[in-house]
Amino acid sequence: MTETTANRARNRALLRFVVLPTIFLTVALLGGVRVGAPAGELEFVPPPLVTLVLALMLLALFVRGRAVVLGAWLSAEHPTLVNVSHALTLGALFFASAQAFNSVLPAAGLLRWVFSFFFLWALWQSQFSAFDARRPLRSLASLFGTAFLLKHVLLASLYAPEGGWLKRIAGALLEGATLGTLDGRPTAPATGYVSFFTLALYVCGLVLLPPDPSEDGTGETAMAPAAGDFVEAIRRLPPAEREAAREALLAEDFQERK
C-alpha cells in the first residue's frame, strides 16, 4: 500500500469514526440550547415529538435518494465494531436532524404548528414524488431559512424588552391576529447565534457524510487502491514470473467460472 493510499484510508477512517459523530452530536446538543433574557440563563429544550417524526421522514428521504446507502453502512461484511460505530453515527444523524428542526421551530403557539405542518407537508410530498435530489433539499433549505428568520429575527425583535412603542403595537396586533397563540417568551440574541451555528454545522455534516462509507470520495471502493497496488506489483515482476502469475490467475478464474 502506497503512502497516498494509506493517508487516504486514514483520513477516511478519521472522518467516519471521529469527525462525523462529533459534528452530529454537537448539533444534537446545541439544537436544544436556549439563552433566556434578560438574565442569560441557559436552558436545554428536548426535541418535541413532531421533530422526531420530521427527522425520521428526512432520514427516509436520504435513504430513498441514496444520500445514505443503508446496506453499505450496516452490513454483515463489516466487523462488529465497525457496524456499531456506523449505527451510532446514523443515530447521531437522526437526533441531529431532530434538533435542527427544534432550533428553528417556535417553542409553542400557533407558529410552531404552522411551520411543523409545512415541514411535514414538504417531506411527505418528497416521499412519493418523482425523486429529484435537489428539489427537496431546496424546499428544506427554504423552510429552514424562513423558520429561522421568523423565530430569531421577527419574533425576537417584536418581543424584545428594549423595543419602542411602535414595536410593541406591532407585537400586540400580531398577537391579536393569532388569538394570543404566539410564543412570546423572550430569549437573548445569543440564542439566534447558537441556532445559526447549529444549522451551519448540520449542513457541513450532511456535506461530509459519504453515501457509502467504503468509497474514497471518487466513487471507488476502499478495495480499489489495493487492487491497483496488486496489479502494479505484478508488473514489476521479471517476465518469467509475471507470465507464471498471469497463468495462475487465468487458471483460478477458469476454475471459478466452471
Does residue 126 sit in the same domain as residue 173? yes
Across residues 135-148, what is the average pLDDT?
74
Higher confidence at residue 20 or residue 174?
20
pLDDT in tens, 210-239: 888 876 444 444 444 445 555 666 666 777
With respect to residue 202, please indicate whether it lies within any of the assigned structural domains: yes
Domain of residue 232 covers 223-258
pLDDT in tens, 73-121: 998 888 999 999 999 999 999 999 999 999 988 777 677 788 888 888 8
For residue 34, report the phi and psi dihedrals to the nearest 5 degrees: -130, 140
Does residue 217 sit in the same domain as residue 227? no
Residues 6+ apart with CB under 8 A from 191: 33, 34, 35, 152, 156
Which pLDDT value is given to residue 54?
94
Higher confidence at residue 132 or residue 195?
195
With respect to residue 72, please indicate whether it lies within any of the assigned structural domains: yes
Of the ranges 171-175, 181-185, 216-220, which one carries the lowest mean pLDDT score? 216-220
Cβ count near 79 (within 10 Å): 8
Does residue 159 sit in the same domain as residue 250? no
Cβ count near 27 (within 10 Å): 27
With respect to residue 133, please indicate whether it lies within any of the assigned structural domains: yes
Does residue 184 sit in the same domain as residue 253? no
Number of domains within the chain: 2
Residues 156 and 135: beta-carbon distance below 8 Å: no
Does residue 76 sit in the same domain as residue 21? yes
Q: How many Å apart are CA 214 and CA 16, to the nearest integer?
A: 10
Does residue 161 sit in the same domain as residue 246? no
With respect to residue 46, please indicate whether it lies within any of the assigned structural domains: yes
* Alpha helix ranges (H) inside 178-238: 189-208, 224-235
How is residue 112 written as a grid cell?
Answer: 410552531
Which pLDDT value is given to residue 85?
93
Does residue 97 sit in the same domain as residue 145? yes
With respect to residue 2, please indicate whether it lies within any of the assigned structural domains: no
Which pLDDT value is given to residue 202?
92
The reported pTM is 0.72
With respect to residue 3, please indicate whether it lies within any of the assigned structural domains: no
21: pLDDT strictly greater than 90: yes
Does residue 18 sit in the same domain as residue 121? yes
- The C-alpha R_g of the chain, in whole angstroms, comes to 26
Question: Taking the C-alpha atoms of 46, 193, 206 and 223 in order, what is their torsion angle to the nearest 10 degrees?
Answer: -110
